[in-house]
Amino acid sequence: MLLGMPWQFNRKAKHDGFKNKYSLEKDDRIYTLAPLTPKQVYQNQFQLKKSYEEEHLDSTKVEEQAKQHGENVRKSENKVSHELKTK
């Protein structure tokens, strides 16, 4: 996404205040930037939230598995050391 305003001036962009659209030329092609509709904004936010939750859930699962693995290793080490002490 374009941030800030320099692209407006570097590309000689034209703003249509009535339609709220920007037009600019790059590589001999004309591009028109238009705002998102409220429905598109909602869909975008919904998808971002869903992907964030999936990533967060995946990282939580990995952390839990690592913790469980660490506990299993400690239990097996304790068992081995206990067996060695009893011999």
Strands lying side by side in the sheet with 21-26: 14-16, 21-26, 29-33
Instruction: Give, for all 87 residues of the chain, the pLDDT tens digit.
Output: 555 666 666 667 888 888 889 898 888 899 998 998 999 999 999 999 998 888 877 777 767 777 776 666 666 666 666 566 665
Instruction: Locate 3 and state its tokens.
Output: 């941030």
3-class secondary-structure state, position 72: helix
Return the residue matching tokens 């869903």: 50
Cα 21–Cα 27–Cα 29 angle in degrees, nearest 5: 45
User: What residue spans define the domains of the chain?
Assistant: 1-35, 48-87
Residue listed under structure tokens 């598995």: 65
The whole-angstrom separation of Cα 69 and Cα 49 is 30
